């Protein structure tokens, strides 16, 4: 069983963000799921450069669609991160089996994904008013570190 929730990038568009997410997954031990279609090829130099030499240390899975991912985790709670939410990321009591779903740059998760019946809750990271959003991997970092903290930093030094 995973010791941390899984990070999910739904249809990511920017290879550098995904490279940074690979590095984030490697240093925390969180699994990273990329839901297709991807806006880049996984062999792109920008992705590899951003991930440095962490690709072999990260647990990365590419899923053909959201339904396939959800079917692989039938008991998981699914948190959709969006600026439209009212629940704060720090108010969630995270479990290792959770899926933390982040949308593509620059649009975020579609209304269709946000309305999916498997979504447990929509969650936000507070920001100052009139700001569009945080960087995708910055958002995932904030949330996975909060989850890791809550769970006692298993495996961390």
Model confidence pLDDT, tens digit, residues 130-144: 888 899 999 999 999
Is 56 part of a structural domain of the chain?
yes
Report whether pLDDT(44) > 70. Answer: no
For residue 127 the two structure tokens come to: 């920001």
CB 152 within 8 Å of CB 29 = no
Is 109 part of a structural domain of the chain?
yes
| Tally of structural domains, the chain | 1
Q: Give the global pTM.
A: 0.92
CATH code for the domain of 142 = 3.40.1280.10
Give, in order, the Cα–Cα distances in Å from 136 to each of 2, 24, 26, 117, 156. 22, 12, 17, 24, 23
What would the mean pLDDT of 59-84 be, rounded to a whole number?
Answer: 96
Q: What is the pLDDT of residues 89-125, one digit of tens each?
A: 999 999 999 999 999 988 999 999 999 999 999 999 9
Is 157 part of a structural domain of the chain?
no
Confidence of residue 57 (pLDDT cuts 50, 70, 90): confident
Is 156 part of a structural domain of the chain?
no
What would the mean pLDDT of 42-47 be, rounded to a whole number?
Answer: 66
Is 130 annotated among the ligand-binding residues?
no
Domain span at residue 17 reads 6-150
Q: Give the number of C-alpha atoms closer than 13 A to the C-alpha of residue 84, restricted to the C-beta side.
A: 13
For residue 100 the two structure tokens come to: 């933390």
Is 119 part of a structural domain of the chain?
yes
Provide the pLDDT for residue 54. 67
Share of the chain above pLDDT 90, in %: 71
Is 1 part of a structural domain of the chain?
no
Provide the pLDDT for residue 133. 83
């Amino acid at each position: 069983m995973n010791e941390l929730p899984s990070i999910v990038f739904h249809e990511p568009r920017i290879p550098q963000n995904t490279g940074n997410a690979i590095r984030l997954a490697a240093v925390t031990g969180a699994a990273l799921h990329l839901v297709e279609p991807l806006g880049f090829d996984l062999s792109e130099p920008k992705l590899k450069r951003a991930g440095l030499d962490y690709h072999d240390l990260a647990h990365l899975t590419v899923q053909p669609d959201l339904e396939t991912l959800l079917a692989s985790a039938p008991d998981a709670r699914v948190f959709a991160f969006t600026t439209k939410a009212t629940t704060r990321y720090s108010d969630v009591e995270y479990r290792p089996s959770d899926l933390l779903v982040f949308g593509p740059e620059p649009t975020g998760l579609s209304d269709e994904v946000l309305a999916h019946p498997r979504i447990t809750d929509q969650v936000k990271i507070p920001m100052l008013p009139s700001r569009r959003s945080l960087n995708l991997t910055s958002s995932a970092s904030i949330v996975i570190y909060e989850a890791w903290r809550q769970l006692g930093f298993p495996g961390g030094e």
